Chains A and B, each alone.
Chain A
Amino acid sequence: MPEQNGQSDPSTSSTDLEKLEAKLAAARARHAPEDDTKGKSDGTLLGMAWRLSTELLASVLVGFMLGYGADVLFGSEPWGMLVGLGLGIAAGFMSVFRTASAMDAENADVPLGDAMPLAPDEDE
C-alpha cells in the first residue's frame, strides 16, 4: 500500500511526515517518561522498604544476642541483655537514618549548597 504510506506522492509527503512526526512525539511523551520512572521506582521502592525494615530488626536482634552472650559469659544476668537491647535499638535507628538519608541524597536532584530548587511537577 504505497499511497497510504505517502511515499509515492512527494507533494503530500511533507505534511504527512509532519503529522506523523507530531503523532510520534505525542506518543513518546505519553509513554516514555511514565514507563521509565514507574518500572524503576516500583522495584527500588520494594527494595528500600525491605532494606530499612530488616536493618532495624536485625540490629535490635544482634544487640540483644550480644548482650545475652555477655550475660552468659560473665554471669551478669539481666544487665548485659538490657544494655545490649538498648545498643541494638540505637544502632538500628542509626543505620536506618543513615540509609534513609543516603537514599534521599541519591534520589533528590538537588545540587547541595545551591539555592532552593523549584518544586518538582510530579510531587506525590
Chain B
Amino acid sequence: MAGPMEQFEIDSKVDLFEIAGQQISWTNSAFWMVVTVAAIIGFFLLTMRGKLIPGRMQSMGELSYQFIADMVRDTVGPEAMRFLPFVFALFFFILFANLIGMNPYAFTTTSHLAVTAALSFFTIFIVIIAGIWKNGFKWFGIFAPSGLPIAIMPLIILIEIVSFVARPVTLAVRLFANMVAGHVMLKLFAIFAAYLVTKGGVTALGAVLPVVGTIGIIALEFLVAALQAFVFAILTCIYLNDVYHVDH
C-alpha cells in the first residue's frame, strides 16, 4: 500500500533542458499547475458572458471579482487597485490548486514548499520594489517606528527587519504545512480503514470509524483549501499596506 508521503513525490515525466547544471523537467507538479491555470481560464471564459441580467455562472464570476476588489479596497485603499490583478491571480491560483488537489489521483502543487515559497517571495519582492519605487529611500522608514528614544532604536530596527524577513516565510510555510498536514491525515485515516478491512472478522466492522473520520476530514480540507487561499490573499493586501502607508 502506498505510504502517506508518497502522494507528494515529484516524478519527472520528460527531461527538457539544463540551466546552469540544473535539470529542468516536465513533472507531475508542472502538469497540475498547467491544469490549474487552464481551469481558471476556463472558469472565467464561462463566466464572462457580459449580459445585463447575469445568469448563474456570470454572477459567480462577478461575485469573485467583487470579493477580491472589496478586499483590496478595504484593507489597503483605493490607490492600491492597480495591484488588484496580482492579488486576484494569486488568490485564484492557490484556490484552484488546492481544490484540484482534493480530487483523487490529482497532485497538490501547493503542497510543495518550492511552489509556495516562490509565490510568497514574489509577493514580498513586489512590496519592496513598489515601496521603493513609490517612496524612494523614505520607504525604509517602515523599519523605524517614529517616536522612540534613540537608545533603543537600533534594537527595534533589528527586530523590525527580522519580522519583515519572516513575512514571506510565514506565508510560504503556512500554505505548505496546511496542505501537507491535511493530505497526510486523510491518507492515514484511509490506510487505517483499509488495514482494518483486510484483517477481516470483527475488526473489519471497526473500519466504519476511520471512514467516518475520513469524511469529516474531507469536509474540513475543503474549508482549509478555500481559507488558505483567502489568508494568503488578505495577507498580501496587508503587506501591500507598507507600500502606501509608510509612517505608522
Interface residues, chain A, with chain B CB atoms under 8 Å away: 43, 46-47, 50-51, 54-55, 57-59, 61-63, 66, 84, 87-88, 90-92, 94-95
B223/A43 in contact, CB under 8 A: yes
Interface residues on B, range: 20 to 34
Q: Cα distance A55–B164 when bound, in Å? A: 11
6 additional contacts, CB 8 Å, given A66-B165, A87-B159?
Answer: A58-B166, A59-B166, A63-B162, A91-B163, A95-B163, A95-B166
Contact with A along B169-193 (1 / 0, CB 8 A): 1100110011000000000000000
Decide if B230 is an interface residue (CB 8 Å cutoff): yes
A58→B173 contact, CB < 8 A: yes
CB-contact partner of A46 in B166, B177, B227, under 8 A: B227
Sample of 7 A–B contacts (CB below 8 Å): A47-B227, A50-B231, A51-B170, A59-B162, A62-B169, A66-B162, A91-B162
A50-B166 in contact given A87-B158, A87-B159 (Cβ < 8 Å): no
For the complex, is B70 an interface residue (Cβ under 8 Å from A)? no
Known: A43-B223, A43-B227, A46-B227. A54 touches B162 (CB 8 A): no
Nearest chain B residue, comparing its CB with the CB of A84 = B162
A96 → chain B, closest Cβ, in Å?
10
Give Cα distance in the complex from A84 to B158, angstroms: 9
Binding site for A on B (CB under 8 A): 158-160, 162-163, 165-166, 169-170, 173-174, 177-178, 223-224, 227-228, 230-231, 235
A42 to nearest B CB, angstroms?
Answer: 8
Closest to A64 in B: B162
In Å, the complex CA distance between A54 and B223 comes to 19
Contact B223–A50 (Cβ < 8 Å): no
> Could you tell me if A90 and B178 are in contact, using CB atoms closer than 8 angstroms?
no
Q: What chain B residues lie within 8 Å of A95 (beta carbons)?
A: 163, 166
A84 to B162, CA, bound (A): 9
Contact between chains at B173 and A54 (CB < 8 Å):
yes
The answer to whether A46 and B173 touch across the interface, beta carbons within 8 angstroms, is no
Closest to A95 in B: B163
Is there contact, CB below 8 Å, between B158 and A50?
A: no
Q: Which residues of A contact B162 (CB under 8 A)?
A: 59, 62-63, 66, 84, 87-88, 90-91
Check A50–B178 contact: CB distance below 8 A: yes
Q: With contacts A47-B227, A47-B231, A66-B165 known, is A54 near B159, CB below 8 A?
A: no
Q: Check A62–B166 contact: CB distance below 8 A.
A: yes
Please, how many angstroms separate the alpha-carbon atoms of A43 and B162 in the complex? 29
Distance A46 CA – B235 CA, assembled complex (angstroms): 15
The residue from A51, A58, A92, A94 contacting B231, defined by CB atoms under 8 A apart? A51
Chain A residues near B169: list those with CB within 8 A: 58, 61-62
